[in-house]
Amino acid sequence: MGSQSALKLDYLSRAELADRPAGWWQNVLGVAAFDAATSSLPCGDVPLIHVQTPVLGGNAQRYEVWRSAHGQSGTRGRIQYRRNGELVFGRLSIAESDVADASAKGSALQRATEAAYREIFSLIDSLSMPYLVRVWNFLPDINGESHGSERYWQFNSARQDGFVAFGRDVTGAVPAACGVGSASGTPLAIYFLASTAAPTVVENPRQISAYDYPPEYSPRSPTFSRACVAEFAEGRMLFVSGTASILGHETVHVGDAAAQTHESLRNIEAVLGAANRGCGARAPLALTDLCYKIYVRRLVDQPLIDREVRSALGEAARVLYLHADLCRRDLLVEIEASGCSNARA
């Protein structure tokens, strides 16, 4: 990613961030801190969200850093945000205990999720940046059950309610996203990017769109696209949603972490191909141009998954591994990717 790109992503250590000069932070839109990472950084009013998902591969205290020229920071309700002329980064966390109500219909997770999305849409509408481009959702105990259903299903239902309440589509023009597990008892944690312009949605020819999944995977389907491309004055950013070993709508290679990793990368390659076919005058992206965040269900699988990733992408691949439960119990790995092209072909 070039220095003039509209948006840049880095996975940095605490030591790397601590050495940054004060002026560098002026162009940071937002930061996600994983595992034991702390907030004692010279980041000023930069939005910082803590996500309780352990970092794997010997890289404790990693930070996901989104940078772009910015103009204004602020808060609205539970959301802390920073914006420039083209996009906004925001973050919020809601503890289920804060919305507990034994007399109310549904679960506390549903109330927390719908409240979160209502606040997100209210904010981005007020900023005239109404288009959600990318959303990261971290749900405690994602595969647990309560109120007669799985918690991930409850999240899907409430997220969809939040979209509908603000007149958003729940199929087709929906943002890239992921929904993965976080430590039990931690808050629902969400961070997001929204823009002044609608992104281009990209689907995967090898898969059924997630919002068209049959009800066996969730009575109300997930509200996300396989990928989105956001066009900025200085470049285009590709956001690939959490991608797993799924063909059509079915999980494949059950129990085989290496094969699931290979299939997930094939799916990302298919999405990248679809995105590049619509890139116009922009230079196409390659798999090696992307940054990868990889969610691993079983600790023991991480070295095997990393070997598959390095074999496909090279030793220099920019990868962050997190330990997290996934939306289906038979999925062992989920991979997301992001990359920017700011050159003309």
2, 11, 27, 89, 343 from 72: Cα distances, Å? 23, 23, 11, 11, 27
pLDDT at 91: 98
pLDDT at 1: 36
71 exposure class (CB count in 10 Å sphere: 0-12, 13-18, 19+): exposed
Q: Is 73 left (phi over 0), alpha (psi -120 to 50) or beta?
A: beta
> Tokens standing for 45?
């009013």
pLDDT at 35: 77
pLDDT at 342: 62
Domain annotation for the chain: domains and CATH numbers: 8-341 (3.30.1330.40)
Across the chain, which has 345 residues, the per-10-residue mean pLDDT values are 64 87 91 74 87 85 89 95 95 95 86 97 98 98 94 97 97 98 95 96 97 94 96 86 98 98 98 86 84 97 97 95 97 96 53
Does the active-site annotation cover 334?
A: yes
Q: Please tell me the distance from the alpha carbon of residue 40 to that of residue 52, in angstroms, as a whole number.
A: 17
Q: What pTM was estimated for this model as a whole?
A: 0.95
Contacts of 177 (CB under 8 A, 6+ apart): 134, 135, 136, 137, 222, 223, 224, 225, 241, 242
Of the candidates 114, 308, 334, 336, the residue annotated as catalytic is 334
pLDDT at 118: 98
